[in-house]
A and B are shown apart, each in its own frame.
Chain A
């Protein structure tokens, strides 16, 4: 597609359940990022993939969070044993290799943990 796509757009889950959020980057972009946007914390970096390099996981808030990127394209962010504080909008972005900072964002997944 022309832009970054994310699914689902909204997800409501019960506390303690696992969730998977999907991101499909812009075709040809080698870098993929996950950010979290919440009322109290603003926009926070979570994890970053660049080509075949090891991901930068420095922003993941706990070991309940993980992400993978298959075939250098689609990425899945998994949150295990969800907590209410995980409620947020999860944004995915992608960029080209030579301008990794110039990131284009998807519409986000709004996660609500009840």
Chain B
């Protein structure tokens, strides 16, 4: 079955500290991989994506993610968290090709930032 697991439902970090949000997936082939961020009352904003090539991808707002095929993981990182990063983060996978582009989402990780 296709699924995405975000093991951490809630994470609290201090402002300026580093951050890593975990994501593991189960998929028949190597999917396209995404991280989205959702602030309260807002839609989903695409942070970054991985299709192929370099396994370390850079995104907006200083975020990066690393694809590890052997671990079926796509963890999101940021070296220094800002208070404005407090939000909910979703990892998602989608088919690498074909007509159906529906995404499968993890349950989300809520990030709280302490001053």
Contact = CB atoms under 8 A, between A and B. Distances in A.
Interface in A18-45: 31, 33, 35, 42-43, 45
Contacts of A50: 99-101
Interface of B: 31-32, 34, 36, 42-46, 49, 51, 90, 92, 94-96, 98-108
Nearest to B95: A101
Nearest to A103: B103
Of A4, A31, A105, A106, most B-chain CB atoms within 10 Å: A105
B43 A101 contact: no
Interface of A: 4, 31, 33, 35, 42-43, 45, 48, 50, 53, 56, 59, 91, 93, 95, 99-108
Contact of B94 (A53, A100, A105): A100
Nearest to B46: A104
Contact of A43 (B45, B49, B90, B98): B90
